[in-house]
Amino acid sequence: MSHIIKKSGLLIIGLIAGIMISLNFSAIAKKDPVEAVHPLPIEELRTFAQVFGRIKSDYVESVEDKKLITEAINGMLVGLDPHSSYLDKDEYKELQIGTQGEFGGLGIQVTMEDGVVKVISPIEDTPAFRAGIKTGDLIVKLDDKVVKGMTLNDAIKMMRGKPKTSIKITIVREGESDPLIFNLVRDIIKIQSVKSKMIEPGYAYIRITQFQEQTGENLAQAINTLFSQNKGDMKGLILDLRNDPGGLLNGAVAVSAAFLPENALVVYTEGRSVDAKMKLHASPEHYLRGSDVDFLKGLPQEAKTVPMITLVNGGSASASEIVAGALQDHKRSIVMGSQTFGKGSVQTILPLGNNTAIKLTTARYYTPNGQSIQAKGITPDIKDETDTGDEERLRESDLNRHLSNGKTDKKKSPASMDPAIQIEKAIQETSGETKEEKAKAKKNKKPLEFGSEDDQLLVQAMNYFKGIKTTPKKKSDKNEKTES
């Protein structure tokens, strides 16, 4: 038996070494000639082979080689940072579909920390959003299965499914003594990337819910419509990026370019490889993707000069932070709201063949003035006086293994939200129907509809435009509206 293990171990080392050598040559070709070539970690590969062999020979059940190798790849990527991951065939396909604005599921942007699925942001107009799922919620059970021990991909697969099928989600929420139970019905998620309206004559409102392939084109249509509807001079434009989890980089560049002077620097990136070092400007070659038609050409010139306010909160991440940072640095727009999420890293999709890929963090974003967004976010010029839960909201800096900013200290999550404590509590407290009924009564608060009459930050922005010095009304317990 030991002879077989030793032999299989040597074969595995040879296989892995061959793969690493080929990858090493590929990486070296992209790097500067002066960069040193690191030798293969033979001892670590030998240990890997020994573990692989022991599992194959001694584990209580037979395990396929494919499963073991796939899990090893998952482990390598998950151990790097919260946003690097391995994409199997289904996940790779879902990623490609998702950027087009239509996919199946519940409508939640999530990450994994300490074995718990954390909600980054619910997507507007989806089952999760309508049910009242909030940023920072900890998902501890899916149906009757405890999330602890699952991979993020496994948890996501459980949440996906055919439209009109249901799933029970158990959530632990800061400030709630008992876990909350949501019975959600899956649906086809169709995201309307750009929403717009005239608030009143002279004041326009544009909301971007997510950055997709058509976001720049949809924004151009919205701007043309709004300016044609307004019969007089446009006095102010509000760009709402709250709870926008990000999306495609070229979409962020396009949105920024709609309001900035031509060729203005929007964002730049810094990474180890040559390809990871980019400077993206407000020019067609940096926001057009697979099209020769410049959808921003012909926009009203007033769109680049009208007074602007950009609304952000802790759910504004990635591409939305790029836009807010660019408009702020160029002094094109006042940024109003709460500190943003702080996801300032670039994920590159690297196909591996067989319709699989890895999503790998390859660079950091920087605003035009050289500020790193990573684990810090965008600091608003004017704080949202109504956002009383800002300090407790989950952000990038709360995630384990988050990429450092290089200048800021790591922020620790409140002790009361320690995942291990919350998981045990949730498992113990969700065993009976009485607990479920009790939890339902606590989760009936509807999420705030951004852009509605109850949107106090929008009121604050309009007051700023009009020069009205008033203190925005605080949320009351009787008529509380909660940002999801």
Give, for all 484 residues of the chain, the pLDDT tens digit.
555 555 555 566 565 655 555 444 444 444 444 444 567 788 898 899 999 999 999 999 999 998 999 889 988 998 899 899 898 888 887 777 666 655 678 988 888 877 789 888 888 888 999 999 988 899 999 998 999 888 887 888 899 888 889 999 999 998 888 999 999 999 987 778 999 999 999 999 999 999 988 999 999 999 999 999 998 889 999 999 999 989 899 999 999 999 999 999 999 999 999 989 999 999 999 999 877 789 999 999 999 999 999 999 998 999 999 999 999 999 999 999 999 999 999 998 899 888 899 999 999 999 999 999 999 999 999 999 777 666 667 788 888 888 998 554 444 444 444 555 455 555 455 445 444 554 444 445 567 789 999 999 999 999 999 998 654 444 444 333 333 2
CA distance linking residue 104 with residue 160, whole number of Å: 7
Q: Indicate the pTM of the whole model.
A: 0.76
Collapsed DSSP state (helix, strand, coil) of residue 118: strand
CA distance linking residue 386 with residue 466, whole number of Å: 19
Spatial contact of 111 and 120, defined as CB atoms under 8 Å apart: yes
- Give pLDDT, residue 482: 30
Question: Which candidate, 268, 243, 380, places its Cα nearest to that of 320?
Answer: 243
- Give pLDDT, residue 105: 86
Question: Which candidate, 310, 308, 478, 313, places its Cα nearest to that of 385?
Answer: 313
Q: Which two tokens stand for residue 134?
A: 């909030």
> What are the C-alpha distances in Å from 312 to residues 118, 248, 395, 423?
20, 18, 13, 31
Residue owning tokens 């942007």: 109
Which residues does the annotation mark as catalytic?
Answer: 318, 329, 343
CA distance linking residue 123 with residue 210, whole number of Å: 8
- Give pLDDT, residue 124: 82
- Give pLDDT, residue 403: 92
- Give pLDDT, residue 424: 54
Question: Which candidate, 343, 345, 349, places its Cα nearest to that of 364?
Answer: 345
> What are the C-alpha distances in Å from 171 to residues 345, 422, 443?
28, 10, 10
CA atoms within 13 A on the CB side of 38: 8
Spatial contact of 442 and 180, defined as CB atoms under 8 Å apart: yes
Residues in contact with 302: Cβ distance below 8 Å, sequence separation at least 6, in sequence order: 227, 233, 234
Spatial contact of 255 and 323, defined as CB atoms under 8 Å apart: yes
444 by Cβ neighbours in 10 Å (0-12 / 13-18 / 19+) ranks as exposed
